[in-house]
Chain A
Amino acid sequence: MKRFSEQFHTKSKSVSMSSTEKQELRERLVSYMEYHPLPAERKSAQKSSVASKSPVLHEAFKTVSIPFSLLGKFSAVAAVFVLTLVPFMAEQSVPGDALYAVKVQFNEEVRSTLTFDSYEKVEWETQRVNRRMAEARLLESEGRLTDAVEAEVAQAVRMHTQNARAEIQSMRAVDAEEAKIASIEFDSNLEAQAASLKEGPENAALATTQATSVGIVDASNLIVQTVDELRALYDQASASTTPSYDKLSARVEQNTTRLYELSEELETLNPNTKKNVTRRIQDINRSVEEAIIQAPENESTAQDILIDVLKRSQKLIVFMTDFAESGTIDIEKLVPVILTSDEEVAEITAYKKEIARKQAEIEASLSAADSETSSDFIEKIEAGLIQIEVLITKTSESNVFAEIKTYSIAAIELADDLQLVLEKNNLPVIVEPVVLPGQATSTASSTVSSSTTPAVATTTPAVATTSPAVSTSTPPAAATSTAGA
C-alpha cells in the first residue's frame, strides 16, 4: 500500500501549474477581489485599523462609502425623522421655504383628512385662511412679499374659502342653522383678516422707508382685493336663515370659554392690550346678559344680539390669536367698544359740554371783531353757528346713542373749522381750559380717545354737506379741516 500510495502521489506531483500560470491565476484573482471588495462595514473597519497602523496613507484617491446597511439598520430613526421632525420643522415655514410644501401639502392635508365633522372642517379651513394670512403678514414685515408669493397666498385664500363655503353649503342641506352659525363665524374671520391687511400697510408705511412701503402696499393689494371680493360673494350667499336662540347661545358659550382661555394665555401681554381685551370681553358678557333678558319676550331681538356677539367674539378670537402680540392691528377697528348706558350718558354730557364751550368761544371771538372784518365773513361764521345749533337740536331729539354721537362729533368738527377760519382771518381765538370728553369716563378713557379718530374721518363729508356755506365759500379752511382730520 505504501509503495503504491507513494508512487501514485509522486507521480501525481508531475501535474502542476507552471510558475507563470500560477502568477497569472493569482493576478486574475486579486483583480477580481478589487472589483468585488468586501462589504462596507468590513471595509470601513479594515480601513480604520490600517489607518491606526500607518498614519500616512499614500492613496491617490479615497473611496467614501455610503453605509446603506447602517441606514437600513437605523431606518426606524430615519422614519421618525421623516414623519415627525420634518413636519414639525415645516410648521414654521413660510412661502418660499424648502419645507413650505411639506407644511401645506402634507401637514395640513393630513389634518384635513382627519377632520370628519362638517363644522370642524369649516373651522379648519378658517384656520388655514388665517395661517396663509399670517404667513403673508410675516413676509410683508420682512419685506419678502413678492408678487409671486402674493398671488400664491391669494390663490390659497380663495381655495380655502371656497372649500369652507362648499362645506357650509353641504351643511345647509342637513342643518341650516348650524350652517348659518358656521358662515357667520367664517365671515367674521374674513372681516378681521381683511381689516388686518388694510391696517398693516399703513403701519408699514410709517415704519419703513418710502420705497419699500410703496412696494408693500402694492403687494398686499391683491390679497386685500381677493378677500374683499370673497366677502362680497359671501354676504350675498348668507342671508336667509336665522339660527335658533338655543344654538346661538351654545356657540356663544363656546366662544366665550375660548376667549377666557386665550385671555389667560395673554397674561404676559402689555397692560394696554390686556385692558382693551378685558373690556371687549366685558362688553360681550353684557350683551349676552341683555340677550338672556330679552329672550323670553322678544326672541328675534335676542337672536340678533347673539349673532352680533358671535361676530364680535369671533373677531376677538382672531385678534387674540393672531394680532395681540404683534400689535399690527387696532382692536378698536376690529371690535369697537360697546359702551354701557351710564358711559353713554357720561359721554353725551361730555360732548354737550364741549359743544357749548366751543360755541361760547366762537361767539366771544366774533364779538371781538371790529369794523375791519368784512361783514361777509361774519355772516359765514354766524351761518356756521346756526348749523351747530341745528345739530344740537338733533342730538336732543334723538335717543339712539350712535346718532347722538355722530351729530355731536359733527358739531364739534364744525366748531373746530369755524375756529380755524377765525384764526386765518386774524381774529383772536379764545380757548378756555379744556376738559376732554374722554376723561369723563374712566373705564373707556383710552378707547374713546382712539375711537374719535375714525369717527372724525367718517363724519367729515357730513360736515361738508350740512354746511355748504362754509365749505364752498372758504376753500382753504375746508382743505385744512380735511387735512387735520
Chain B
Amino acid sequence: MAGKKFTDNPEDHQARFLEAFEEYNDALFRHATLRISNRERAVDLVHDTYTKVWSYIRDGYEIDTFRPFLYKVLNNLIIDEYRKKKESSLDALLEIDGVDEGSFAELSESTVETLAATIDGQKAFALLDELPVQYKEVIILRFVDQLGPREISELIEESENVISVRIHRGLRLLRERIEADDEFAHEKRKAKAKATAKNKT
C-alpha cells in the first residue's frame, strides 16, 4: 500500500491528501467514536491520523490507496489510547490473543448471517459499548466500516479465522444481551400488568 520512492508528480500530493481527508474523515471519526466512546477525543485521533499520514508523505513515501492505511494508523492510535486509559485491561486484552479455533459453526460466514438475521440491528448498536473490546473492534470494523474479513485480518494482524470467530461470538453476545433485555422488559411488563390487575381487584 505504500512504498518508498521519490515520486515524479509531486504537485498533486497535497491535493490527493486533502481528497483523502474529505472522503474518509467521517468514517474514521465514526469508527474512533464507537471504539473509545469519547467524541472530542475521537476528533483528536482523526486529526492525529491525518498528520501522521502527512508526515509519512513528507518522508518521501507514496500512498497508493489511502483507506487501509488510514485505518491502520487510526487503529494503532486507538490501541495507544486504550493503553493510556487502562493498562491492566489492555494487558489482559493482549493476553487473550490465543482465542481457540472455534467450532465449525462459528467459522462459517453463513452461520454468521443466520445468526445476524435473528438480531435487531438498532438494539445491537445501542448495546455495542457493553461488548468486550476485542469483539467490539471487529463488529465495528465489519458492520460499521463494512470491511471484509480479509481486510480486517490485515488491519489488526490476526488470521481470518480468528476474525470470523470474534465476529460470531460478538454477535452471539449481542443477541444474548438483547434477549436478556427483552426478557427483562417482558418481566417488567408482566409484573406491571400483574400489579395493575391487583389494583383493580
Using a CB–CB cutoff of 8 Å, the interface residues on chain A facing chain B are 1, 3-13, 15-17, 21-22, 25-26, 28-30, 32-33, 36-39, 41-43, 45-46, 49-50
Q: How far is the CA of A42 from the CA of B30 in the complex (A)?
A: 33
Structural contact, A4 and B116, CB atoms closer than 8 A: yes
Structural contact, B121 and A7, CB atoms closer than 8 A: yes
Specify which chain A residues have a CB less than 8 angstroms from the CB of B54 in the assembled complex: 29, 32-33, 36
In the complex, how many angstroms separate the beta carbon of A470 from the nearest chain B beta carbon? 98
Q: Which chain B residue lies CB-closest to A1?
A: B113
Specify which chain B residues have a CB less than 8 angstroms from the CB of A9 in the assembled complex: 121, 143-144, 146
Q: How far is the CA of A1 from the CA of B33 in the complex (A)?
A: 24
Q: Which chain A residue lies CB-closest to B54?
A: A33
- The answer, yes or no, to whether B117 is at the interface (CB within 8 Å) is yes
- The answer, yes or no, to whether B172 is at the interface (CB within 8 Å) is no
Q: Which stretch from B10-18, B89-97, B186-194 is at the chain A interface?
A: B10-18
Q: Which chain A residue lies CB-closest to B13?
A: A38
Q: Which chain B residue lies CB-closest to A53?
A: B11
Q: How far is the CA of A8 from the CA of B171 in the complex (A)?
A: 12
Do A29 and B21 contact each other (CB < 8 Å), given the known contacts A1-B113, A11-B121, A39-B60? yes
In the complex, how many angstroms separate the beta carbon of B151 from the nearest chain A beta carbon? 16
- The answer, yes or no, to whether B46 is at the interface (CB within 8 Å) is yes
Q: Which chain B residue lies CB-closest to A49?
A: B11
Q: Which chain B residue lies CB-closest to A10?
A: B121
Structural contact, B122 and A15, CB atoms closer than 8 A: no
Specify which chain A residues have a CB less than 8 angstroms from the CB of B119 in the assembled complex: 4
Interface secondary structure of A, over-half rule: helix
Specify which chain A residues have a CB less than 8 angstroms from the CB of B18 in the assembled complex: 30
Contact of A15 among B7, B34, B55, B121 (CB under 8 A): B34
- The answer, yes or no, to whether B47 is at the interface (CB within 8 Å) is yes
Structural contact, B57 and A38, CB atoms closer than 8 A: yes
Q: What are the 4 closest A-B residue pairs judged by CB atoms, nearest first?
A: A7-B121, A1-B113, A42-B10, A8-B121
Kindly count the residue-residue contacts between A and B in the assembled complex, taking CB atoms under 8 Å apart.
103
Q: How far is the CA of A190 from the CA of B6 in the complex (A)?
A: 64
- The answer, yes or no, to whether B51 is at the interface (CB within 8 Å) is yes
Specify which chain B residues have a CB less than 8 angstroms from the CB of A38 in the assembled complex: 10, 13-14, 57-58
Contact of B121 among A4, A21, A22, A50 (CB under 8 A): A4
- The answer, yes or no, to whether B135 is at the interface (CB within 8 Å) is no
- The answer, yes or no, to whether B50 is at the interface (CB within 8 Å) is yes
Specify which chain A residues have a CB less than 8 angstroms from the CB of B112 in the assembled complex: 1
In the complex, how many angstroms separate the beta carbon of A358 from the nearest chain B beta carbon? 96
Q: Which chain A residue lies CB-closest to B119?
A: A4
- The answer, yes or no, to whether B124 is at the interface (CB within 8 Å) is yes
Structural contact, B10 and A1, CB atoms closer than 8 A: no
Q: How far is the CA of A49 from the CA of B14 in the complex (A)?
A: 14
Do A11 and B122 contact each other (CB < 8 Å), given the known contacts A17-B25, A28-B47, A29-B47? yes
Structural contact, A4 and B117, CB atoms closer than 8 A: yes
Contact of B25 among A5, A11, A22, A42 (CB under 8 A): A22
